[in-house]
Amino acid sequence: METKRKKVLITGCSSGFGLLTAVSAAKAGFDVVATMRNLDKDVDLRLALDAANVNAEIAELDVTVPQSIKTVVRRYGPFDILVNNAGILMGGSFLNITDSEMRSVFETDYFGAVNLTREVVPEMIERHFGLIINIASLAGRVGHLFNAAYGAAKHGLIGFSRSIRLELKPFNIKVVSVEPGYFKTEVIGNNAYLTENFHDRNSPMFELNRGFLRMMMKEVIPKAGNPQVVADKIVKIMQTSRPRNHYIIGKDAWFAVIAQQLGLLRLVEKAVYAKLIRNTQREIKRKQKM
Ligand SMILES: NC(=O)c1ccc[n+]([C@@H]2O[C@H](COP(=O)([O-])OP(=O)(O)OC[C@H]3O[C@@H](n4cnc5c(N)ncnc54)[C@H](OP(=O)(O)O)[C@@H]3O)[C@@H](O)[C@H]2O)c1
């Protein structure tokens, strides 16, 4: 695929993979429409574009608002490439997540991508060309404890990608699923929400929720990778004429997926479980000392 003049729509560009991909794609010569739900958060993207000496259209797009999707597609379309990147995460046991929190994860991580794809694809069909890149997650391949809504939505997104790939094949539209492990972005930083009832002392999950949080803070997040790796891979996918169906990114993701393929996932789960219990016990001890 030629990189020049291909028009790319990217969601969730206020930070993380979206921001980095917008800048890297602009540097690679793509015509980038970088969107975010709140334009007050455009400073970091503008600074990064300036620093790289490149341009991109910056537009408002909340993937959970149908009218917002329609407005952007009407104003800036047609697009050659769509990167469904916007996502949120809600940490805490499935017993402590409210119905509306659960739905908001699905509205963003699953329906947001689905609805935008449905809006963009008809023009791709007309032009007999297109590439949809869905940013899923390792959490869409294996279970994601204390993030059940996120894991379920990402499993759904991978299932959606696999299904529509076949439907869109006759129209020369390719559908790719990107499945990173942990990378240092705001989804595990400032944007990492905890469920409303995370700290409910009456919940049987009270201690385990805290143990999970400690495990994330002490053992998982410090080892998270450099998100530029993911942005570079996404731009590579945009540039290739024959992209693969799935891109697993990061050592942690590869490790889990290979274990799964070898039928050894239960050993990985056993190790994660041991980590959870260890961190829960340490957290209980810490609280007792206070
Ligand atoms: N980082 C990881 O370890 C990791 C691993 C696997 C997959 N992912 C996936 O990668 C994608 C990008 O996340 P990230 O890691 O780069 O985290 P991030 O820095 O938190 O970026 C998430 C982006 O999504 C935006 N967003 C949230 N709700 C939205 C909505 N309703 N409409 C439009 N934009 C919305 C956020 O905007 P606001 O600033 O307004 O909140 C932000 O720009 C997500 O789908 C995430 O699930 C991340």
Task: Supply the residue whose CA is at minimum distance from atom 25 of ligand 1.
Answer: 12
Alpha carbon distance 35, 11 (integer Å): 5
Alpha carbon distance 188, 172 (integer Å): 36
| pTM recorded for the entire structure | 0.97
**Could you report the per-residue pLDDT of 50-76, keeping only the tens digit for each?**
999 999 999 999 999 999 999 999 999
Stretches where the chain sits below pLDDT 70 are: 1-4
Select 7-203+225-251's CATH number: 3.40.50.720, 3.40.718.10, 3.10.105.10, 3.40.50.2300.
3.40.50.720
Q: Are 97 and 151 in contact (CB under 8 A)?
A: no
Which residues on neighbouring strands pair with residue 194, listed in sequence order? 91
Taking Cα atoms as reference points, which of 163, 168, 179 lies closest to residue 130?
A: 168
CB atoms within 10 A of CB 54: 18
Residues acting as catalytic residues: 150
Domain spans in the chain, listed from the N-terminal domain onward: 7-203+225-251
Taking Cα atoms as reference points, which of 194, 91, 111 lies closest to residue 151?
A: 91
Ligand 1 atom with the shortest distance to the CA of 86: 24
Pocket of ligand 1 (CB under 6 A): 11-12, 14-18, 36-38, 41, 61-64, 85-88, 108, 112, 135, 137, 180, 182-183, 185-188, 191
CA of 109 to the centre of ligand 1 (A): 9
Q: Are 173 and 79 in contact (CB under 8 A)?
A: no
| pLDDT for the residue numbered 4 | 53
Angle value at C-alpha 111, between 109 and 113, nearest 5 degrees: 65
